[in-house]
Structure 1
Amino acid sequence: MPSINVSLKDGASADKLEEAKKHISEQGGKVTHEFKLVKGFTADMPEDKVSTLQSNEVSTDR
């Protein structure tokens, strides 16, 4: 599984962060590290599911 970095837009709520982490889990991924300075995290994500994140209000980098 590739690792991806997920970061939320400036001003995103803590609830949006939890939603994004839940989405990762529902898609078969696993959060491996949560950032402290920005709202975001690193996750291992199945290759065929990475595109599902791009349609949400999160930014992903591999």
Structure 2
Amino acid sequence: MMFLSTLFLGYLSLALANPIIVTYPKDTPPSVLEDAMKSVTNAGGRITHKYQSIRGFAADAPESAVQQISVQSAKYNPTIEKDQTASIQ
């Protein structure tokens, strides 16, 4: 029974998650990025992609994680955007 409750809560937190992209300035230390990713997973979200060419990642994150990331580092302010499909026509 406990396993089912834990499984249900895990699915619930992902159901309430928003797809986001988080990017940081070039001079941001890797530790700031790691702390932000930990905030996402600790809040019940998941990292969906770690970017190599820019300092950033994509995630499915609950609003509490988004708020935590936005205030986590005063020196290295992240840009947090909704992840969505873009097209040109």
Q: What is the TM-score with the length of structure 1 in the denominator?
A: 0.81
Point out the structure with the larger strand share: 1
Q: Which runs of 5+ in 2 are unaligned?
A: 1-16, 83-89
Q: Between Structure 1 and Structure 2, how many residues are aligned?
A: 61
Point out the structure with the larger helix share: 2
Q: Deviation of residue 38 (structure 1)?
A: 0.7
CA contact 2:39–2:68 (8 Å) conserved in 1: no
Q: Which runs of 5+ in 1 are unaligned?
A: none
Look up the SS of the partner of 1:55 in the other structure: helix
| Structure ranking higher on relative contact order (CA contacts 8 Å, 6+ apart) | 1
Q: What is the TM-score with the length of structure 2 in the denominator?
A: 0.60
Q: Deviation of residue 52 (structure 1)?
A: 2.5
**Higher radius of gyration, 1 or 2:** 2
Moved over 3 A (4+): none
